[in-house]
């Protein structure tokens, strides 16, 4: 399917809403029936129509169709955050006493789920170095229900060979879930590589404007329907019609924004690599990246996030650098129009600053849509003060 067709037309029935070019926001909690039989049919199967917006909603449906098609998946659910999408996908596939194999250091709140919430129900998680497929194989137990992946990781960018892990999991009857937030479906299609459920935080690139929180799950119709009928409706964390509408609007320019972020990332990367105050740079499409070959094979491209380490004598210099940036904002998240930075040292107290720890000298930069020269000038002036 053409990406332009998906983004501009798929799921939109303009004749149903006065031929308006932009779809309406169907801001309603409930839907009325004329016939008892029609209501009964929806009570029996909420998935088949509109009864209550916690389940299905026409504005959300337009978005679901587009996001499923972008992932080459049969179906899709959209949540009010990436974290709730993770929660539902995992919860739907475990029971008491099960075991999960997860790539090490997945997204923070996935770790919380694995380390704090699921152990209350006797569900344990083994973390593995995902750069070697054998590590997954060694960690599998008879009660392993899920292999949880995040490729690339959004801080250090380690990849997993998605096709190989999916094949391994399938041969053991284990469900695979992959967090694809870094790539979006434009740069990586986990479902096409054999992964059962692809997830992403739509708060990042899909929204693209730092004004919506949302999460996406895609997979087979059977799997998505199952999640809809239990976890999705029980947790009640579906996206609101207004936020779905904002994501449809975000999708219109997704390819253009990703293209510009990709073009911007390269000169910023080259600038950082050449600067004497920068010790090293980590980026999956950099030739020195340890998994460069796999990245090139598995991903169409890479953009946006760059991690780098400052060549400093004291962690306070990292603080000085961050606090002297004039345009790049110090803030969490990424994927929108504005460039952002997070220093690793913000996760520890100043009393714990340790120059020997690379993680304290580390910064994660998101390259936004600004003119790359504008971003570079800001980095340069702050590095010169440092």
Ligand X SMILES: *Cc1c(COP(=O)(O)O)cnc(C)c1O
> What is the binding site for ligand X (CB under 6 A)?
81-83, 107, 150, 154, 179, 181, 201, 203, 213, 215
Closest to ligand X by CB, 181 vs 264, is 181
Closest to ligand X by CB, 42 vs 340, is 340
Beta bridge partners of 42: none
Closest to ligand X by CB, 55 vs 152, is 152
Cα–Cα distance for residue pair 24/186, rounded to 1 Å: 26
Closest to ligand X by CB, 301 vs 320, is 301
Q: In the block, which residue shows the tokens 């949540």?
A: 79
CB of 79 to ligand X, least distance (A): 8
Q: In the block, which residue shows the tokens 């960690």?
A: 139
When CB distances to ligand X are compared, the closest residue is 82
CB of 82 to ligand X, least distance (A): 2
Furthest-apart CA atoms within the chain: distance in Å: 75
CB of 181 to ligand X, least distance (A): 4
Closest to ligand X by CB, 179 vs 231, is 179
Give the torsion sign (CA, 165, 167, 168, 174). Answer: positive
Cα Rg of the chain (Å, integer): 22
Question: 116 to each of 125, 140, 256, how far by Cα in Å?
Answer: 10, 21, 40
What contacts 8, CB < 8 A, 6 or more positions away?
A: 252
In a 13 Å sphere around the CA of 264, the CA atoms on its Cβ side amount to 25
Closest to ligand X by CB, 98 vs 150, is 150
Q: Is 209 helix (H, G, I), strand (E, B) or coil?
A: coil
Give the torsion sign (CA, 133, 118, 231, 145). Answer: positive
CB of 2 to ligand X, least distance (A): 28
Closest to ligand X by CB, 89 vs 312, is 89
Beta bridge partners of 305: 366
CB of 298 to ligand X, least distance (A): 16
- For residues 325 and 382, is the Cβ–Cβ distance under 8 A? yes
Closest to ligand X by CB, 82 vs 130, is 82
CB of 78 to ligand X, least distance (A): 11
Cα–Cα distance for residue pair 66/189, rounded to 1 Å: 14
CB of 209 to ligand X, least distance (A): 14
CB of 119 to ligand X, least distance (A): 21
Closest to ligand X by CB, 177 vs 191, is 177
CB of 22 to ligand X, least distance (A): 24
Cα–Cα distance for residue pair 304/336, rounded to 1 Å: 10
- For residues 119 and 73, is the Cβ–Cβ distance under 8 A? no
Q: Which of 200, 205, 233 is nearest to 219 (CA)?
A: 200
């Amino acid at each position: 399917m053409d990406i332009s067709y998906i983004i501009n037309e798929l799921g939109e029935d303009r004749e149903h809403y006065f031929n308006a070019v932009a779809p309406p926001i169907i801001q309603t909690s409930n839907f009325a029936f004329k016939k008892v039989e029609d209501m009964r049919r929806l009570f029996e199967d909420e998935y088949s129509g509109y009864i209550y917006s916690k389940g299905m909603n026409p504005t959300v449906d337009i978005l679901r169709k587009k996001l499923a098609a972008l992932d080459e998946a049969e179906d899709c659910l959209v949540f009010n955050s990436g974290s709730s999408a993770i929660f539902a996908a995992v919860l739907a596939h475990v029971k008491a006493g099960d075991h999960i194999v997860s790539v090490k250091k997945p997204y923070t709140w996935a770790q919380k789920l694995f380390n704090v919430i699921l152990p209350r129900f006797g569900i344990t998680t083994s973390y593995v170095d995902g750069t070697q497929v054998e590590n997954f194989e060694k960690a599998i137990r008879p009660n392993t229900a899920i292999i949880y992946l995040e490729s690339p990781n959004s801080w250090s960018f380690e990849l997993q060979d998605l096709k190989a892990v999916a094949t391994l999991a399938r041969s053991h009857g284990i469900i695979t879930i992959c967090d694809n937030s870094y790539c979006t479906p434009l740069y990586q299609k986990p479902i096409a590589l054999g992964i059962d459920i692809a997830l992403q935080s739509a708060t990042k690139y899909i929204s693209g404007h730092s004004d919506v929180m949302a999460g996406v799950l895609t997979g087979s119709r059977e799997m998505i329907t199952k999640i809809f009928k239990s976890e999705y409706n029980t947790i009640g964390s579906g996206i609101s019609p207004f936020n779905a509408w904002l994501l449809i609007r975000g999708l219109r320019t997704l390819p253009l924004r990703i293209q510009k972020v990709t073009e911007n990332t390269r000169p910023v990367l080259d600038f950082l690599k050449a600067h004497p105050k920068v010790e090293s740079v980590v980026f999956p499409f950099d030739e020195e990246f340890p998994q460069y070959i796999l990245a090139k094979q598995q991903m169409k491209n890479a953009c946006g996030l760059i991690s780098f380490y400052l060549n400093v004598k004291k962690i306070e210099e990292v603080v000085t650098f961050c606090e002297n940036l004039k345009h790049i904002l110090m803030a969490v998240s990424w994927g929108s129009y504005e460039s952002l930075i997070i220093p690793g040292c913000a996760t520890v107290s100043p009393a714990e600053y340790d120059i020997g720890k690379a993680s304290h000298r580390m910064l994660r930069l998101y390259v936004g849509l600004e003119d790359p020269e504008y971003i570079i000038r800001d980095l340069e002036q702050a590095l010169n003060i440092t």
